[in-house]
Amino acid sequence: MDNRNGVPVVDGREEDSRTETNRSGLSRRQALGALASAAAAAGMAGSPAAAAPKKPGKPTGPAAKEAFIDDLIARMTVDEKVGQLRLISIGPEMPHAKLMDEVAAGRIGGSFNTVIRRDNRPLQEAAVKRSRLKIPLFFAYDVVHGHRTTFPIPLALAASFDMAVIERMARVSAIEASDDSIDMTFAPMVDISHDPRWGRTSEGFGEDPYLVSECARASVRGFQGAAPDKPDTIMAAVKHFALYGAVEGGRDYNTVDMSPLRMHQVYLPPYKAAIDAGAGGVMVALNSINGIPATSNVWLLQDLLRKQWGFKGVTVSDHGAITELTRHGVARDNREAAKLAIKAGIDLSMADQIYLAELPGLIASGEIKMAEIDARVREVLGAKYDLGLFADPFLRMGKPEDDPADDKAENRLHRQPAREIARETIVLLENRNQTLPLKKQGTIALVGPLADSGLDILGSWSAQGVAEQAVTVRAGIEKAIEGKAKLLTARGSNVLDDEKVVEYLNFLNWDKPEVVQDPRPIETMIEEAVSVASQADVVIAVVGEVRGMSHESSSRVTIDMPGSQRRLLQALKATGKPLVVVLMNGRPLAIGWEKDNADALLETWYTGTEGGNAIADVLFGDHNPSAKLPISFPRSAGQIPTYYNALRIGRPFTPGKPGNYTSQYFEEEQGPLYPFGFGLSYSRFTLKDLKLSATRLKRGETLAAEATLTNEGSYEGANIVQLYIADPFASIARPVKELKGFQKITLKPGESRVVRFEIGEDQLKFINADLKEVVENGRFDVQIGLDSHDVLVQSFELV
């Protein structure tokens, strides 16, 4: 057992792959030496100006880095400078052969979507052998929740409320991706989402600024490991800066209009947290903010990011975003778009030809000063320097003879961490009469269109995840009950029954159509499922969304259970057999019927490569669930938003005293179906005796809040104890409560533990009307609970 950066390494393979990486890391350097002499012998370096960049000496402090980059910039032509600002995706935009020529001509800074060493090595060789200045390329990719191994989607990871889990996911992902020659990931995605209609809710960590910020930090720690120049690390480019999660109506790419107060209090902290944790890159959002696209937003990219936050890394536009400035209507043409982007501070232009086409002319005309271009180039070269690529362009690529024969080989996966991580993300929403855990005996009926889908369980943005390598729910259950119980299966329904929706989803950017419909009539499928259910002791129904429904460009008008699945569930319920509903989805769904009718309800999100095993572990009690919802679940789409930390208002709806003229929807029960932070356990936990160490707190000091958590049930298990603080009177209206801390506590049956939180000014500060961070005297309510709704309360006075 090893522990690297606080991330335990659990299986031998990880240890091995790291040792192998280190070993080949050394030989890679030797290989580079040979390569450099070969290049010199071949006369590739012509004039003195064309000499390869001097290797940075050791040790490499900031001054050495600056001097190295100054020297390089001084020797670059305009074309070479512009080239460094281009981030090119292989594909229809540019075929491999053309990319090689462009690289050799020094006209490309980096590439993304080339994900294997055999593809990337020739590109890097073209850069460091054939280009005049021999500046290495860097290779980026969307390593969002895994690489070869797919881990649960970020929304699920947040549900673990366990930062070691998130850091471990990112660490293993970085080990796998760097082994495939990836230098940078476009992650973490830390866009707060209050609107589950937005398909990219699945890619983020939920609705709460405190939780999302913690997840952001843990992700950066994991991806970047000890330092970004180590062979088994990748640089994190946090995205999408900024406020992308607040697109109006949850409709992707829509505009964002938001008060500065809300920005600073809710949406901006997670990006800042990632940057403070050392994220080397920032990806700029596609949306506009209060009328100004993020991509041309001087306030956002200069004043806030660089000046106020002191970000020193590289910025990258999102896909085609610079061209889109013309469609936002802020640039007349591509020329103006390029100018606006450079002036705002977009270093790398992703997947468009605009910088190449327009910057030389803009520089020649004096509209863009050389110093402005140099500033952008400096950030790109700085990132490459930090990635260790000037010291060794093949740092994450190694030697050809070490290339994996099969990139998708089973032994490149990290199954054990994937299973352990996945089971920490599954939320138990209902468990009537202790339906779960199930016994491994008798006859079990498994139905539902997602029960045997290796593709959907991976979730969207599953990088190089392979559906055939994923353990489906069916496979997981079969393995768990092998030789002990009988399994009967039936599909029961399709996920979707609207062919237009199917067509839309199949038109998304997948390699091949993903949604394959069972052509049988729904009645026939339900009949078959009911017949199977009738023969069983218990029914497990796996229902929800195909992965493409919770993806980029997948905004929904409803968050209902899609297709005929509700009909299937109703028919199963009518059999009178205990019904366990296993949800697979990437956003909160309106599951009122399931809440009221399922005997047990399990939110599994998309659990990844080992998902089926992890779900089986939970279903059969080999793992006691402890995850909690990182986002509120509304009752219906009409109720959105339902985020728990809303501002106080003058006429709040008061439970028990509904009345007219208070804030409510009159056709529906108020409040979310499930609140933020909610999740059950197989054991019964109680939280009692909230005590504060003082009722008055002096500035500069702290007080302790303590409560006793007891496991009164009969299973060992963990629970997430949550600290909320409310500031009932302040100079501005404040949220009704805000999460300020959480602890995951594991207890044996009968065991109790006093859980303690320290509270000081850090937990009490907020942004006031002048956008200043302040702490105001007065009463604060400390709330401690096992979810955001049911809490113990005590108050103190800040003096």
Active-site residue set: 318
Q: Work out whether 352 is an interface residue with ligand NOJ (CB under 6 A).
A: no
Dihedral sign, Cα of residue 769, residue 771, residue 772, residue 775: positive
CB of 408 to ligand NOJ, least distance (A): 20
Q: Closer to ligand NOJ by CB, 478 or 552: give it.
A: 552
CB of 89 to ligand NOJ, least distance (A): 7
Q: Which of 587, 702, 515 is nearest to 199 (CA)?
A: 587
Count of other CB atoms within 10 angstroms of residue 327: 11
Q: Closer to ligand NOJ by CB, 246 or 540: give it.
A: 246
Write the CA distances from 659 to 301, 333, 428, integer angstroms: 47, 56, 34
Q: Closer to ligand NOJ by CB, 220 or 529: give it.
A: 220
Q: Work out whether 318 is an interface residue with ligand NOJ (CB under 6 A).
A: yes
CB of 188 to ligand NOJ, least distance (A): 11
CB of 178 to ligand NOJ, least distance (A): 18
CB of 253 to ligand NOJ, least distance (A): 9
Q: Is the peptide bond before 536 cis (omega within 30 degrees of 0)?
A: no
215 and 273 in contact (C-beta within 8 Å)?
A: no
Write out the binding residues for ligand NOJ, residues 213-242 only, by CB under 6 A. 239
**Pairing between β-strand 281-284 and β-strand 235-241 as defined by DSSP bridges:** parallel
Coil, strand or helix at 27: helix
Residue with tokens 């000046």: 307
> Which residues lie across from 129 on neighbouring strands?
none
Q: What helix, strand, coil percent values describe the chain, rounded to 5?
A: 35, 20, 45
Q: Closer to ligand NOJ by CB, 318 or 545: give it.
A: 318
Q: Closer to ligand NOJ by CB, 195 or 787: give it.
A: 195
Q: Closer to ligand NOJ by CB, 141 or 644: give it.
A: 141
Q: Which of 161, 167, 86 is nearest to 127 (CA)?
A: 86
Q: Work out whether 319 is an interface residue with ligand NOJ (CB under 6 A).
A: yes
CA angle in degrees (0–180, nearest 5) for 47-52-57: 135
Write out the binding residues for ligand NOJ, residues 688-717 only, by CB under 6 A. none
Q: What are the residues whose beta carbons fall under 8 Å from the beta carbon of 480, sequence distance 6 or more?
A: 440, 613, 616, 617, 619, 620, 622
Shortest-Cβ-distance residue relative to ligand NOJ: 186
CB of 286 to ligand NOJ, least distance (A): 6
Q: Work out whether 145 is an interface residue with ligand NOJ (CB under 6 A).
A: no
Write the CA distances from 146 to 208, 271, 463, integer angstroms: 23, 21, 7
CB of 375 to ligand NOJ, least distance (A): 24
CB of 187 to ligand NOJ, least distance (A): 8
266 and 206 in contact (C-beta within 8 Å)?
A: no
Q: Which of 125, 142, 191, 379 binds ligand NOJ (CB under 6 A)?
A: 142
Write out the binding residues for ligand NOJ, residues 582-611 only, by CB under 6 A. none
Q: Which of 181, 174, 178 is nearest to 117 (CA)?
A: 181
633 and 789 in contact (C-beta within 8 Å)?
A: no
Q: Closer to ligand NOJ by CB, 238 or 582: give it.
A: 238
Per-position DSSP letters for 67-114, written without gaps between them: HHHHHHHHT--HHHHHHHTEEEESBTTB-HHHHHHHHHTT--SEEES-
Q: Closer to ligand NOJ by CB, 319 or 491: give it.
A: 319
Q: Closer to ligand NOJ by CB, 552 or 617: give it.
A: 552
Q: Closer to ligand NOJ by CB, 223 or 390: give it.
A: 223
C-alpha–C-alpha distance, residues 291 and 330, integer Å: 9
Q: Closer to ligand NOJ by CB, 207 or 552: give it.
A: 552
Q: Closer to ligand NOJ by CB, 200 or 556: give it.
A: 200
Per-position DSSP letters for 148-159, written without gaps between them: SSB---HHHHHH
C-alpha–C-alpha distance, residues 799 and 790, integer Å: 28
179 and 396 in contact (C-beta within 8 Å)?
A: yes
Token readout for 413 is 């996966």
Q: Work out whether 311 is an interface residue with ligand NOJ (CB under 6 A).
A: no
Dihedral sign, Cα of residue 583, residue 588, residue 590, residue 592: positive
Q: Which of 186, 198, 605, 644 binds ligand NOJ (CB under 6 A)?
A: 186
CB of 120 to ligand NOJ, least distance (A): 16
Token readout for 764 is 């009490």
Q: Closer to ligand NOJ by CB, 352 or 552: give it.
A: 552
CB of 676 to ligand NOJ, least distance (A): 25
Q: What are the residues whose beta carbons fall under 8 Å from the beta carbon of 629, sequence distance 6 or more?
A: 159, 206, 427, 588, 603, 674, 675, 676, 677, 678, 679, 787
CB of 282 to ligand NOJ, least distance (A): 12
Question: φ, ψ for residue 9 (rounded to 5)?
Answer: -100, 120
The pattern of x and - marking residues 537 through 576 that bind ligand NOJ according to CB under 6 A reads ---------------x------------------------
371 and 342 in contact (C-beta within 8 Å)?
A: no
Token readout for 755 is 């859980």
Q: How many residues bind ligand NOJ (CB under 6 A)?
A: 6
CB of 113 to ligand NOJ, least distance (A): 7
Q: Report CA 302 to chain centroid distance, whole Å.
A: 25
Q: What are the residues whose beta carbons fall under 8 Å from the beta carbon of 612, sequence distance 6 or more?
A: 457, 470, 471, 472, 473, 474, 475, 476, 477
572 and 594 in contact (C-beta within 8 Å)?
A: no
Per-residue burial over 79-98, b = 16 or more CB atoms within 10 Å of its CB, e = otherwise: ebbbbbbbbbbbeeebeeee
Per-position DSSP letters for 382-429, written without gaps between them: HHHHHTTTTT-TTTTT--GGGS-SSTT-GGG--HHHHHHHHHTT-EEE
CB of 142 to ligand NOJ, least distance (A): 5
Write out the binding residues for ligand NOJ, residues 389-428 only, by CB under 6 A. none
3-state secondary structure 523-590: HHHHHHHHHHHHCCCEEEEEEECCHHHCCCCCCCCCCECCCCHHHHHHHHHHCCCCEEEEEECCCCCE
C-alpha–C-alpha distance, residues 333 and 351, integer Å: 17
Footprint of ligand NOJ (CB under 6 A): 142, 186, 239, 318-319, 552
